[in-house]
Amino acid sequence: MCLKLGVVQDPGFIRQGLFTPCACAVQAVSMSAQMKIVKATEPDQFELDVAQAICDLEANSNDLKAELRELYIVAAKEVDVTGRKAVVIFVPFKLLKVVRKIQSRLVRE
């Protein structure tokens, strides 16, 4: 787990090895995207990208905003289906009804 304490103003800390940015400080993912993933382990980059896409849709789509606000994912995987790529998003069972309601609109986006 990472704790970001702030921005280091003196680049000498990095040159001297006194400060090493961790993986989550280097990734350019918003905090709201990290809140869209609930899992026990650290999410990988693809899952963070999917969560960021969901946050972007929530911010930019007026008709999906209410449904996407309560949606969060547990995992995301990219699979190869007959030469094409597909994204499989895992959600908790209690959110399955919400996902089924918006699935067709979500796939179009």
Please state, in angstroms and rounded to a whole number, the distance separating the CA atoms of residues 5 and 3. Answer: 6
Q: What is the pLDDT of residue 2?
A: 33
Q: Quick check: 3 pLDDT over 80?
A: no
Q: Which pair of tokens denotes residue 92? A: 């908790």
pTM listed for this prediction: 0.68
Q: What is the pLDDT of residue 29?
A: 62
Question: In Å, what is the CA distance from 103 to each residue of 10, 71, 79, 99?
Answer: 48, 12, 18, 6
Please state, in angstroms and rounded to a whole number, the distance separating the CA atoms of residues 76 and 46. Answer: 7
Select the more confidently predicted residue: 33 or 95: 95
Q: Quick check: 4 pLDDT over 80?
A: no
Write the pLDDT tens digit of every residue in 78-94: 999 998 999 999 999 99
What is the percent of the chain with per-residue pLDDT over 70, rounded to a whole number?
Answer: 73
Q: What is the pLDDT of residue 28?
A: 54
